Structure 1
C-alpha cells in the first residue's frame, strides 16, 4: 500500500515531464527553443520536437506570407504637388534567428512597426526623387515605383530577418485642400476648350452663311441677267414683228396701235378722260360712220 502511494505520484510527475518536453511544430510555423532567453535550437521542419522541461521554452513564428498596411503619409514629388500615399506589403520571416535577435520579445508587432517605418522612408525617397512628377505617379504606369520601393525595402528589411515579397501603392491622391483647386483648374481648362470650340463653330457658321449669301446674290444676278437678255430678245423680236407689220400695212398698224391706246386709257370702272372732241385720239371714233358705210 505504501509502495503504491509513491508510484502513482512518480508516474504523474514523469508523465508531466514527458509532456512538457514534447512540442509540435506545424508546417505553417517555425519554432525557436530558448534557454534563459538564449537560442538553443531552431525547428523549421514540421513534426514532433523535444526540449528540456521547465528550463527551455518554445517560441513559434508564422512561416506564411503576411500582409502589412502602411500608414497614410504625404510625399512631395519634383513638381511640388503634394500627394497622399499609402501602400500595402507582403512579407515573410525568412531568418527566424535574425528575426528574434532583431525584435526580441516584441515579436511580429514590433517587426511590423519597424518594417512600416522602412516602407514609408522608401516611399518618400522613391516618389520624391528628381524627375518624378505627380502626373507620372498618378498615371496607370506606376508599377515601376512599387518595384523600386520593394527592392529598396527588401535590402533594409534583411536586418530584421524579413523578406519583402511585394509592395503595392494603394492610394496616390491629392490632399483634400488641393483637390478643389485641381478640379477648378481642370474645369477652367475644359471651359476654355469649350469656348474655343464654340468660337471655331461660330466662325465656320459665318463662313458658311457668307458663302450661302454670296451664292444667292450670284444666282439672283445671273438670273436677272438671263431674264434681261431674254426680255431684250423678246422686245427686239416684238419690235421686229411690229416693224414688219407696219411695213406691210401702215394703216392697219395705226389702227391696231390706236385700239391698244384706247384699251390702256379706258381701263378700270372709274376712269375719266377729258379731251376736246376734235382730238386726234378719237380719230377712229369720228370716222366710225364713214367706215361703217364703206
Structure 2
C-alpha cells in the first residue's frame, strides 16, 4: 500500500511531463520552439511535435493572409492639390525566424506598426510623383501596385511578405471641402445660366419663326378671302345684272325694298331728304309717281 502511494505521484508527474512535451501545429499556423529565448526549431508543417518540457516553449503565429488598414494620411501630388488617402494591405508572415528576430516577443502588433510606417512612407513617395488627376483616375490601381512593390523590399527585412495594397478612398482634406464645393456650385450655376441663355435664345427663334408663319398664314388667308369675296361679288353682280335684264321694273322694286330695310334699320324712322326724291317712289300712289 505504501509503495503504490509513492508510485502514484511519480506516474502523475511523468504523465504531465509527457503531455507537456507534446504540441500540435494545425494548418492555419506556424510555431517556433524556444529555449531560454533562443530559437531551437521551426515548425511550419501541420502535425504532432515534441519539445523538452519546462525548458522549451512553443510560440505560435498565424500562417494565413492578414489584413492591415493604414491610417488615413495626407499626400501632396505634383499639382500641389492635397489629398487624404485611405489604404489597406494584405500580408503574411513568410520567414518565421526573421520575423521573430525583427519584432521579438511583441509579435504581430509591432510588425503591423512597422508595416504601417513603411506603407505610409511609400504611399507619400509614389503619390507625390504624380498629379492628382492620375490618382483619381483608373491609374490608381497601377499606383497601388507600385506602392506594394516598393513596400515589399522593406517588409522583407521583417520576414513579412506584402501580398497586396489597395487605395480605398481618396478625398480632399476637410478644410478644403467647403471651398471645393463652393467652386463646384459656382461652375454648375454658370453652366445652368448658359443653358438658360441658350434655351431663351432658342425660344426667341421659335417665337420669331411662329410669328412669321402666323403673318404668312394670315396674309395668305386674307388674300384667299379677298379672291373668294371678289369672285362672289362678281357672281352676285352677274346675278343682279341677269335679274335686271329679265325684269328691270321688278329689280328696281326689289332694290328699293332693300334700301328701305337698310335705311330704317334700328328703329330710325327719321330721314331728311328732298320732297321730290325718288327714294320713296314705291311708297307713293301710282298717280303721284
Give yes or no for TM over 0.5.
yes
Q: What pairs up with 1:9-24 in 2 under 5 angstroms?
A: 18=18, 21-24=21-24
Q: Which moved more, 1:224-233 or 1:196-205?
A: 196-205
Distance, in Å, in 1 between the alignment partners of 2:252 and 2:43 is 144
Q: Which moved more, 1:206-215 or 1:49-58?
A: 49-58
- Structure 2: tracts of 5 or more residues without a match: none
Q: What pairs up with 1:107-186 in 2 under 5 angstroms?
A: 107-130=107-130, 132-133=131-132, 135-139=133-137, 142-186=140-184
Aligned partner of 2:203 in structure 1 is: 205
Distance, in Å, in 1 between the alignment partners of 2:261 and 2:24 is 137
Q: TM-score, normalised by structure 1?
A: 0.80
Report the 3-state secondary structure (helix = DSSP H, G, I; strand = E; otherwise coil) of the residue aligned with 1:78: coil
Which of 227, 232, 235 aligns to 1:234? It is 232
Distance, in Å, in 2 between the alignment partners of 1:177 and 1:79 is 18
After TM superposition, give the deviation of residue 147 of structure 1 in Å.
Answer: 2.4
After TM superposition, give the deviation of residue 136 of structure 1 in Å.
Answer: 4.3
Q: What pairs up with 1:57-76 in 2 under 5 angstroms?
A: 57-76=57-76
Aligned partner of 1:43 in structure 2 is: 43
Distance, in Å, in 1 between the alignment partners of 2:16 and 2:2 is 22
Q: TM-score, normalised by structure 2?
A: 0.81
The answer on whether the counterparts of 1:25 and 1:43 sit within 8 Å (CA) in structure 2 is yes
Aligned partner of 1:34 in structure 2 is: 34
After TM superposition, give the deviation of residue 160 of structure 1 in Å.
Answer: 0.7
- Structure 1: tracts of 5 or more residues without a match: none
Report the 3-state secondary structure (helix = DSSP H, G, I; strand = E; otherwise coil) of the residue aligned with 2:153: helix
Distance, in Å, in 1 between the alignment partners of 2:280 and 2:117 is 127
After TM superposition, give the deviation of residue 217 of structure 1 in Å.
Answer: 1.5
CA-to-aligned-CA distance 1:229-251 (integer Å, 9 cap, x gap): 22223333444454556666666
Distance, in Å, in 1 between the alignment partners of 2:288 and 2:5 is 186
CA-to-aligned-CA distance 1:26-68 (integer Å, 9 cap, x gap): 4333222334433333222333434445554433322222222
